[in-house]
Amino acid sequence: VRVRTNQPQVELQNTDKQVSSGTHTHTHQLDVSVGAASYTDSSDDETSPRDKQQKNSKGNGDFCIKNIKQADFGRREIEIAEQEMPALMALRKRAQGEKPLAGAKVVGCTHITAQTAVLMETLSALGAQCRWAACNIYSTQNEVAAALAEGGFSVFAWKGESEDDFWWCIDRCVNVEGWQPNMILDDGGDLTHWIYKKYPNMFKKIKGIVEESVTGVHRLYQLSKAGKLCVPAMNVNDSVTKQKFDNLYCCREAITPTSFLLKRTTDVMFGGKQVVVCGYGEVGKGCCAALKAMGSIVYVTEIDPICALQACMDGFRLVKLNEVIRQVDIVITCTGNKNVVVRENLDRMKNGCIVCNMGHSNTEIDVASLRTPELTWERVRSQVDHVIWPDGKRIVLLAEGRLLNLSCSTVPTFVLSITATTQALALIELYNAPEGRYKQDVYLLPKKMDEYVASLHLPTFDAHLTELTDEQAKYLGLNKNGPFKPNYYR
Amino acid sequence: VRVRTNQPQVELQNTDKQVSSGTHTHTHQLDVSVGAASYTDSSDDETSPRDKQQKNSKGNGDFCIKNIKQADFGRREIEIAEQEMPALMALRKRAQGEKPLAGAKVVGCTHITAQTAVLMETLSALGAQCRWAACNIYSTQNEVAAALAEGGFSVFAWKGESEDDFWWCIDRCVNVEGWQPNMILDDGGDLTHWIYKKYPNMFKKIKGIVEESVTGVHRLYQLSKAGKLCVPAMNVNDSVTKQKFDNLYCCREAITPTSFLLKRTTDVMFGGKQVVVCGYGEVGKGCCAALKAMGSIVYVTEIDPICALQACMDGFRLVKLNEVIRQVDIVITCTGNKNVVVRENLDRMKNGCIVCNMGHSNTEIDVASLRTPELTWERVRSQVDHVIWPDGKRIVLLAEGRLLNLSCSTVPTFVLSITATTQALALIELYNAPEGRYKQDVYLLPKKMDEYVASLHLPTFDAHLTELTDEQAKYLGLNKNGPFKPNYYR
Amino acid sequence: VRVRTNQPQVELQNTDKQVSSGTHTHTHQLDVSVGAASYTDSSDDETSPRDKQQKNSKGNGDFCIKNIKQADFGRREIEIAEQEMPALMALRKRAQGEKPLAGAKVVGCTHITAQTAVLMETLSALGAQCRWAACNIYSTQNEVAAALAEGGFSVFAWKGESEDDFWWCIDRCVNVEGWQPNMILDDGGDLTHWIYKKYPNMFKKIKGIVEESVTGVHRLYQLSKAGKLCVPAMNVNDSVTKQKFDNLYCCREAITPTSFLLKRTTDVMFGGKQVVVCGYGEVGKGCCAALKAMGSIVYVTEIDPICALQACMDGFRLVKLNEVIRQVDIVITCTGNKNVVVRENLDRMKNGCIVCNMGHSNTEIDVASLRTPELTWERVRSQVDHVIWPDGKRIVLLAEGRLLNLSCSTVPTFVLSITATTQALALIELYNAPEGRYKQDVYLLPKKMDEYVASLHLPTFDAHLTELTDEQAKYLGLNKNGPFKPNYYR
Amino acid sequence: VRVRTNQPQVELQNTDKQVSSGTHTHTHQLDVSVGAASYTDSSDDETSPRDKQQKNSKGNGDFCIKNIKQADFGRREIEIAEQEMPALMALRKRAQGEKPLAGAKVVGCTHITAQTAVLMETLSALGAQCRWAACNIYSTQNEVAAALAEGGFSVFAWKGESEDDFWWCIDRCVNVEGWQPNMILDDGGDLTHWIYKKYPNMFKKIKGIVEESVTGVHRLYQLSKAGKLCVPAMNVNDSVTKQKFDNLYCCREAITPTSFLLKRTTDVMFGGKQVVVCGYGEVGKGCCAALKAMGSIVYVTEIDPICALQACMDGFRLVKLNEVIRQVDIVITCTGNKNVVVRENLDRMKNGCIVCNMGHSNTEIDVASLRTPELTWERVRSQVDHVIWPDGKRIVLLAEGRLLNLSCSTVPTFVLSITATTQALALIELYNAPEGRYKQDVYLLPKKMDEYVASLHLPTFDAHLTELTDEQAKYLGLNKNGPFKPNYYR
């Protein structure tokens, strides 16, 4: 299973034959094993969850997870997440009278984290029934899954699924006697794909698809183009609110863990160090900003002229790797590409050069090329190897070229809250829309609902919005309650 | 003539009857009288250019400008601008063999600045004939217009046109014997509007419209929706490259003049000062960032929940004006709205409070309400008035509530260069596109041309782009020459 | 007259024979002609003030300034400054009962600006008589001098004094019948030097010297070492409060005008530009920080290893000028040294390279070397020349290598307020100290008074200091009223 | 054992009777257990090192450490540290011919870390014999001590000494047959104090003391004042180089772990959160800067008006705790004081408020007051407790009010390298100084040696220093080889 960036990937498009290419990470997420998931590490046994008899405390067994005993830990994680997701909590409150999702049968396939749990429990409070699988084989927080199962949700997910497990779990969500979904909430398009492939008749009852990921949205547009999309779909990824906050805040939040990590593993001071960062996408931008702030001299390599120009404008010299490889103190890859740093580059680095990967795949550094007899490997710390050349030169390789293991996520909960709220509203909109409002096409959330998502997040900040006077509304040609910007405004 | 922000304005949409609403500023531009335009100040005479006989040194008189004698000054400004617009210069070089605009007759209506002149002379080098008017009655750099006229361009524009002049100039561009435009380059939609209204038949020969402004693009989409768009149009405003660089760099560049200005007029130190900024659009964001960097405590007011939420996330307390009006040291408006600060607010401010407007209109502060007998006005410096209450309280009012007069533009030339290059490529694309590629609709520049615009700007930075290996291209599913991102990628 | 940085300068030390070396600028001050001094520019006549009959409106003629008619303008400037100097205003209030400087006869020699005027009027309110000269031939704000003269102060100063005028003014302050100073307030040591040289007997009545500048303090320590200091002296320059705020805030405030200036004169965008900054003292640090923030790639040259190391740590490559001269887009000097950029360097620069001086002297760029027949000079804007090589290469030289003419000061009024308050307290302390507390030596202001200076500035910020409980004071071993830090704490 | 900030503490001064107050941390060091010291955690046995027979592989047993078997791990840590301490390595190289410390017998008492080991091995390479103890009972890296013992150094130190162990170790360094120290290298003054108290006669052979810490320097000045200092002492703490880099870079480096820690333990997003930081010393400044950069709204409390004023100028509202306690989301203490947050404050906090301590002592939050029957404690994660009020309100208390446990140091190795180099040079200077150059007083390192320390660090950065020409040196009145700044320049 490859974990990918938001690079377009052609092979994805013929997914019919490629069961193994079915899992995708969320854009921007440096490491999917988030938060305090360490409870499970020591107590894990080796039996596959599929082989276990499972029942929650009320005797319900319609789920498949790692270990129902972790439910209490998971509940605490969910409660902590609730604190940071005020908008969903507000939706729950408003739903006490009306149940806008009464009768909705939602099948979902997303990362299973505390934040998702808050969403699922909100959908439930709004009247929906839910069945859920994971969209990534590694990203499930087992104790959260346990808390959901204990709470009565039919969850099929655990950390470390095999490819076969992955599709089995999805199938268990969908293929159930006496229950048929009428709404899909997808992240990556695998669930949608599975239904298309195995149960196309289900679409007769499905009112709509809400899709979160770049990849999934891409697939939907392709279906639409090909005339094969048979229900309305809502593209949540490109909602204005989400995009604004993604772009503005993800980079900022990424700086801390990036720099902390390098510091912890290597003890180096960054001031004055020469660093080359390969790739100037979201992750690369975050790394470069962090390094610049800490006083490093940063070089960038890029293949895309638009990103390259941004690097230039941001004050980084754009080079080819070989131009600086002899002089740099640190090499960081974050391209999503393969063989970005190869043996030839490694041979030319100077003594003590640190090499690490911050990108999504583990293919960026050709580590295999370092497994040759003339090179000695010496493990000096956890996740830190010295690779020693015959002449005594040492390269400091971090995490054997894999993504460094973070103990915290870099997707701010806030963005997850925005996303989850948008997903909930998109489900409500599609579920309740009068016949004919949406056709078999891909839609963006109406501007006004976008503004509503934002307004639901304001009370957290004790923020007081100003209201237009009648005179001002007239002057600006606006309705006093919004929308305040045209649809094409970004 | 009102100068507006990119707030949507309903009245704009029925432009047929509203000749007077025809001029619009460029988004983000704090002050349209840019650069070194001061040559003209002292030598100005009072005769209207329309009443003068005008001829350039070659005897050509097909233009109408302020003063042909300023051509030399203008030429120097153009030469300076050329240094910062390498992409257009590169296009000229490549055009030495082929003339992709041979036969093109372009009528244009934009700000007439040194940067525009570089664009026009590039179009000319590519084979086009050009006739040009100004899209704003104040923004013409007279000496640049002179240099263009001297160089043989038919330019009709001067600084300080009346409404009548404005439309007269546009008409002179279009309504000329023996010459009919086949391409339109517009900024604000007034030229397009004029042709629609007066010479609808011209569209038969017109191959396309290239439109730069938010407002103009909005009009085009409306025409398209109404089924009235009769030629293909290219929306240059929303090209990826332009958007990326606008958002990233305009705020950064706006900080300097903003803070300089406040410093120069008031000598205050910003560290520790409490400031309320009304409006968190582009200008407001720039002001707030500048003030925060200088150590001010900043409060924000907003009407739009999305912008409001951004203010919160950026660390500014969102308040209603009245909640902080008694305690703040500085009040800055940048809403594009009217009567944002009214007499009631002014009455409650503390002694020494500074009040100024950074927005586009001069209606934000209700200055008229301060012209009452019990208040004394005292001019203490250029652009600085003390308004004195009966109890001795003084309010420091800057520029009588108008936009402070800057001596430099805040639109970085770089963004103008990106824009101008995109315009040129859009003209080439529309002019040369095979029959049927574009219909009577509004288009975005193809992704690949967007990337081409960026790549044309890289040599300035001595930037070296990395090329994909065959193996990498295959892995990523990309063509080695791009496009490198999907169309919907922002 | 050379204007100098805080570089140590050996010649200064034998000042006896060097009357002409007597003027020094204030450290950190980019341009001594501050604020709104433009009133005087147009109305200046050519008669020397020494040749004019001068009287204020009350018939008093014991002063010599440019033009008494500007008093009203000056008064407004003083009133504006008062707003930013709350601590001195607080001292005045407290002085309404007691007059701690009653009987003090202060002779002063400082920059004559609105801020100094607030200090002088405070000393007067505290009971002192004052006579004043300028410590710099260019830095006098004529209209402020007028307001002081109109207010009854014996001021001898104008903008643009000759060397001879300079010493004549000092002499007029000191050498007056029936009045002998008993306190000295000096900035640069010229006044002290003059009295030592001409009127050594005056020291019998003088209770102490308060000295503000690096240079003056240096001279005092030398006198002390040589056993020639005959009265106590207070080193105000090294007071903790002043130092802390100087270092922290001057750089920050310098960024704005620096970047504004370059922007205004050249229209360049700084993002991605390669810049070499010669000298990494205070001014250099400010420039580099500004440029880095705007996205430039900055190189630094230095001679001092400590400053060099700081540059490295701050993320700037430390180079020799020749290593980068061919590739940079901008060269900025701020060394205080001479011939830092010479013809050989200029010959190697690339076309369009901008060269300017932000340092104190005008000797840093060897402009004379560009006045040769083969080079053509072309004035393209105010303060901007193109120097054109025979092969067409153009160098953009700003302000002919002199300091660019700013219209605002870069010393924040806040630092001036700290300084002025410290000076006032130092005068009070020395004047009222019991016999024997201070000997013929150089002293720092007692820590507790330093803290008092700070506390006088807190109310401006509506700041609420926490008080120690008895238990906490005991735990920390501190007096509840301070001092809160040991003397050696910085 | 109390761990202290650099707050002055009166009790320290009568150290004769207070054996128990003898250990002090290094200023700025958030956590003394640095780096990768985790090797020792699992293999620790419970026998006291004092009760063990210890021998290294060569049979030498003149040391007392935790576990000699860890020597290999320690050697790797030392090798890693060598990479970041180029100046000491350069000193070693230069010492290959001359041995400036030949005959020196250095007794040292410092933190025993990899960096110290690099220093000790350098002293040894320069010709010195060394015996060493730890200056803090917790800060010893056991595996580094093991590597030193294996290398033949007489080291007496382990992590987790008792008070009694602490003094026993010091005594073992000093009280040894047939060896008497002639140089002292101290950090905190405990070693010096011990010799004064127990072996005053030793001072007859001692040539000088090099002292590193604020506290130790303070003690030396007191001895000097009291006429009891019987050998010259070098104050390394106040060397210009060290001070410059401490102030500039420690805050910057502290930001990363601070923010990472809060993020990891609580998952909160900081944007828009209201935070009160108690104390605006070094740690407080770092916290506030970090929080501001992440978009928090920060309030500050302070007792010292100078620090208070800095907070104001930096844009933080200075408040008393009670003024904001009801509204803040996070409370952070970093005062070094006790009972800064008491039960009364905790009672008024809002639900979900996070409370943590970043200061040095664990007395800042009155945690004991929360151990009352009506409050429920719930451990939700490692280091995170929810304290629940009867009405359901939850306070999130981190690390029970102790300093959060970091896995990386915040003293950049670079500062340690500067310090260690300065210490080495100070030892060389005192050891080799001709009779009479230094008296029984406290000295600062000569300016020129300060500059030498800096220059030894430049090659790491591939930095090229510019040399003055003869003409320039003359113009500036400087020797071409320095010193380049006067002694009093900071």
Q: Which residues of C touch B (CB under 8 A)?
A: 35-36, 76, 80-81, 83-84, 249, 252-253, 256-257, 259-260, 263-264, 266-269, 271-272, 294-295, 327, 352, 380-382, 407-409, 412-414, 460-462
Note whether D387 and D394 are within 8 A (CB): yes
- Mind spelling out the 3-state secondary structure of chain C? CCCCCCCCCHHHHCHHHCHHHCCCCCCCCCCCCCCCCCHHHHHCCCCCHHHCCCCCCCCCCCCECCCHHHHHHHHHHHHHHHHCCHHHHHHHHHCCCCCCCCCCEEEEEECCCHHHHHHHHHHHHCCCEEEEEECCCCCCCHHHHHHHHHCCCEEECCCCCCHHHHHHHHHHHHCECCECCCEEEECCCHHHHHHHHHCHHHHHCCCEEEECCHHHHHHHHHHHHCCCCCCCEEECCCCHHHHHHHHHHHHHHHHHHHHHHHHHHHCCCCCCCEEEEECCCHHHHHHHHHHHHCCCEEEEECCCHHHHHHHHHCCCEECCHHHHCCCCCEEEECCCCCCCECHHHHHHCCCCCEEEECCCCCCCECHHHHCCCCCEEEEEECCEEEEECCCCCEEEEEHHHCECCCCCCCCCHHHHHHHHHHHHHHHHHHHHCCCCCCCCCEEECCHHHHHHHHHHHCHHHCCCCCCCCHHHHHHHCCCCCCCCCCCCCC
**Same domain (yes/no): D191, D227:** yes
Judge: A267–D407 Cβ closer than 8 Å, yes or no: no
Bridge partners of A330? Answer: A275, A354
Q: Considering only CB atoms, which residues of chain A are within 8 Å of chain D?
A: 35-36, 76, 80-81, 83-84, 249, 252-253, 256-257, 259-260, 263-264, 266-269, 271-272, 294-295, 327, 352, 378, 380-382, 407-409, 412-414, 460-462
Task: State how far the alpha carbon of D186 is from the alpha carbons of A199, B165, D190, D242, in Å.
Answer: 78, 84, 7, 16
Provide φ and ψ at B453, rounded to 5°.
-55, -45
**Do D283 and D384 belong to one domain?**
yes
Token digits of residue B18: 């509203």
Neighbouring chains of C at 3+ CB pairs under 8 Å are A, B, D
* C-beta atoms of B295 and D272 within 8 A: no
Disruptive mutation site among A312, A318, A327 for chain C (greatest number of C CBs within 10 Å): A312
B468 lies in some domain: no
Task: Of D124, D134, D228, give the one whose Cα is nearest residue D186.
Answer: D134
pLDDT digits (tens, 9 = 90+) for B84-97: 888 999 999 987 77
Amino acid identity at B347: D
For chain D, how many residues are written?
490
- Is D377 contained in some domain? yes
| pLDDT at B343 exceeding the cut of 70 | yes
Compute the mean pLDDT over every residue in chain B, rounded to the nearest whole number: 83
pLDDT tens sequence across C451-478: 999 899 898 888 999 999 999 888 888 8
Q: Are residues C237 and C308 in the same domain?
A: no
> Does A349 reside within a domain?
yes
Question: What CATH number has the domain bearing residue A387?
Answer: 3.40.50.720
The CA distance from D463 to the nearest CA of chain B, in Å, is 23
> What is the DSSP code string of A425-461?
HHHHHHHH--TTSS-SSEEEPPHHHHHHHHHHHSGGG
How many CB contacts within 8 angstroms connect chain C with chain D? 202
Residues A219 and A363 both lie in one domain:
no
Q: In this structure, what token pair is assigned to residue C22?
A: 């007597």
- And the tokens for C303? 């001679």
Give the chain B residue whose CA is nearest to the CA of D295: B315
Q: Which domain holds residue B370?
A: 260-408
Identify the domain boundary among C408, C438, C464. C408
Residues B389 and A78: their CA atoms lie apart, in Å, by 57
pLDDT in tens, A74-111: 998 898 888 888 899 999 998 777 899 999 999 999 99
Here the tokens at position C280 are 């990494």
Cα(C324)–Cα(C339) distance, integer angstroms? 17
Write out the two tokens for D87.
């100046």
Question: Tens digits of per-residue pLDDT, D277-335?
Answer: 999 987 788 788 878 877 899 999 999 888 898 899 889 999 999 999 999 999 999 88
pLDDT in tens, A9-26: 322 233 332 222 333 333
Six-digit token pair at B88? 């257009």
pLDDT category at D194 given cuts 50, 70, 90 is very high
* Chain D: closest CA distance from residue B206 (Å): 51
Q: By CA distance, what is D296's nearest residue in B? A: B315
Highest mean pLDDT range out of B116-120, B401-405, C281-285? Answer: B116-120
Question: What is the predicted pLDDT for the residue at A231?
Answer: 95
DSSP D187-229: SSSHHHHHHHHH-GGGGGT--EEEE-SHHHHHHHHHHHHTT--
Which residue in the set D314, D339, D477 is minimally distant from C11, CB to CB? Answer: D477
CB B452 to CB A339 under 8 A? no
Do the beta carbons of residue B81 and residue B115 sit within 8 Å? yes
Residue D343 clears pLDDT 90, i.e. is over it: yes
How much is the average pLDDT of C350-355?
A: 92
A218 and A277 share one domain: no
Chain B: nearest CA to C347, how far in angstroms?
20
| Total domains present in chain B | 2
CB atoms within 10 A of CB B361: 21
Q: Where residue C122 sits, what CATH number does that domain have?
A: 3.40.50.1480
pLDDT digits (tens, 9 = 90+) for D261-279: 676 667 677 888 899 999 9
The Cα of A84 is separated from the nearest Cα of chain D by a number of Å equal to: 7
Residue C17 lies in a domain: no
**Annotated binding residues of A for NAD(+):** 281-286, 302, 405
Give domain status of residue A25, yes or no: no
Residues B206-236 have pLDDT tens digits of 999 999 887 788 889 889 988 999 999 999 8
User: Looking at this predicted complex, what is its ipTM?
Assistant: 0.74
Residue B486: the pLDDT is: 67
* Domain assignment of residue C82, yes or no: yes
| Residue B82 labeled ligand binder | no
- Comparing D120-134, D433-447, D475-489, the range with the smallest average pLDDT is D475-489
Quick one: B167 and B91 in the same domain?
A: yes
pLDDT(B99) > 50: yes
CA distance D184 to D109: 8
pLDDT at residue B271, rounded to an integer: 82
Distance CA C129, CA C180 (A): 10
Question: What angle, 0 to 180 degrees and rounded to 10, lies between the N-to-C axes of helices B190-198 and B214-225?
Answer: 40
Say if C471 falls within a structural domain: no
Q: Does residue A86 sit in the same domain as residue A102?
A: yes
Q: What value does the mean pLDDT take over residues B293-318?
A: 90
Name the nearest CA neighbour of A487 among A449, A453, A457.
Answer: A449
State the average pLDDT for chain C: 83
pLDDT band at residue B153, thresholds of 50, 70 and 90? Answer: very high
Between chains, do C296 and A315 touch, taking CB under 8 Å as contact?
yes
* Long-range contacts, D315-319 (Cβ 8 Å, 24+): D315/B271, D315/B272, D315/B292, D315/B294, D315/B295, D315/B296, D315/B297, D316/B297, D316/D277, D316/D280, D316/D288, D316/D292, D317/B297, D317/C461, D317/C463, D318/C458, D318/C461, D318/C463, D318/C464, D318/C465, D319/C464, D319/D276
Q: A144 and A270: one domain?
A: no
Q: Do C136 and C236 belong together in one domain? A: yes
Helix (H, G, I), strand (E, B) or coil at B396: strand
Share of chain C above pLDDT 90, in %: 51
In this prediction, residue A249 carries a pLDDT of: 64
Distances (CA, A) of C173 to B330, C176, C210, D159: 41, 7, 17, 69
One domain, residues D144 and D236: yes
pLDDT, tens digit, for every residue of B37-71? 333 444 456 789 999 989 999 999 999 999 999 99
Q: Among partner residues D297, D312, D317, which is closest to B315 by beta-carbon distance?
A: D297
D119: its two tokens:
């220093």
- By Cβ distance, the residue of D217, D317, D457 closest to C309 is D457
Q: From edge to edge, which strands make up the β-sheet containing C384-388?
A: C317-318, C297-301, C274-278, C330-333, C354-357, C394-398, C384-388, C376-381
- B327 & B426 share domain: no
Set of chain B residues whose Cβ sits within 8 Å of the Cβ of A484 = 303-306
Shared-domain flag, residues D418 and D441: yes
Q: What are phi and psi of B310, to 5 degrees?
A: -60, -45
Inter-chain contact A218–B312, Cβ cutoff 8 Å? Answer: no
Nearest CB neighbour to B463, from listed A312, A458, A475? A312
Per-residue pLDDT of chain A (490 residues; tens, 9 = 90+): 333 333 333 222 333 322 223 333 333 332 323 333 334 444 456 789 999 889 999 999 999 999 999 999 899 889 888 888 889 999 999 877 789 999 999 999 999 999 999 999 999 999 999 999 999 888 899 999 999 999 999 999 999 899 999 999 999 999 999 999 999 999 989 999 999 999 999 999 999 999 988 778 888 988 998 899 999 999 988 777 776 676 556 555 655 666 666 766 676 778 888 999 999 987 788 788 878 877 899 999 999 888 898 899 889 999 999 999 999 999 999 888 889 999 999 999 999 899 998 876 678 999 999 999 999 999 887 778 999 999 999 999 988 888 765 544 556 677 788 889 999 999 999 999 998 899 999 998 888 888 999 899 888 888 899 999 999 888 888 888 888 876 656 5
- What would the two tokens of residue D230 be? 């019987």
- Contact across the interface for D244 and C451, Cβ inside 8 Å: no
d(CA A288, CA A292): 6
Confirm whether D78 is domain-assigned.
Answer: yes
The one-character DSSP state at B386 is E
Q: Is the dihedral of CA B184, B189, B195, B196 positive or negative?
A: positive
